[in-house]
Amino acid sequence: VDVNLMGPIHVIETFVPPMIAAKRGGHLVNVSSAAGLLALPWHAAYSASKFGLRGVSEVLRFDLKRHGIGVHLVVPGAVRTPLVNSVEIVGIDRSDRHVQRYIEHFEKRAVPPEQAAAAIVKGIKKNTYLVYTSNDIRFGYWWARKFAWPYEYVMQRANDQFSRFLPPV
């Protein structure tokens, strides 16, 4: 929460008032996550911060429009960075072959950082509020909004599937 929500809030507090005073407009770009749109398994604390940033951004989208400041919320899914290999989940053995298979699947779906950056620049140029770095997240969010019951079913199944890796209680 300190990094993912309060960090952007401190940036906003520092830079937006001078942007308003300068009366030249501009763009505010906040980086959320697919976890700020979808209920991804094991992401409760992370999702809380990213959903919070989504809320802040949505309010500012309307508040700052009169000042000519566009607000963009980047919602990346999997991006191929070294972070993928450094994330630790309590109780999960990353060396387990089944866990390794999920990590490999994640890495196959991950977009290169350059592709994510290009999507962000394109979104800003088009003044798009929600900026997706991959179409799977765009589809997932659309699907979650249009088909609530199937979304809930799939997310519960995903959570159950992930929970197989937890040690017995």
Phi then psi dihedrals of residue 79, to 5 deg: -125, 135
Residue of 46, 129, 141, 151 marked active site: 46
**Which residues sit opposite 29 in a β-bridge?**
72
Whether 46 sits among the annotated catalytic residues: the reply is yes
CA neighbor of 38 nearest in space, from 168, 138, 141, 156: 141
Q: Are 20 and 123 in contact (CB under 8 A)?
A: no
Q: Are 74 and 31 in contact (CB under 8 A)?
A: yes
Nearby residues of 10 by Cβ (< 8 Å), 6 or more positions away: none
Q: Are 46 and 89 in contact (CB under 8 A)?
A: no
- Would you name the residues annotated as active-site residues? 46
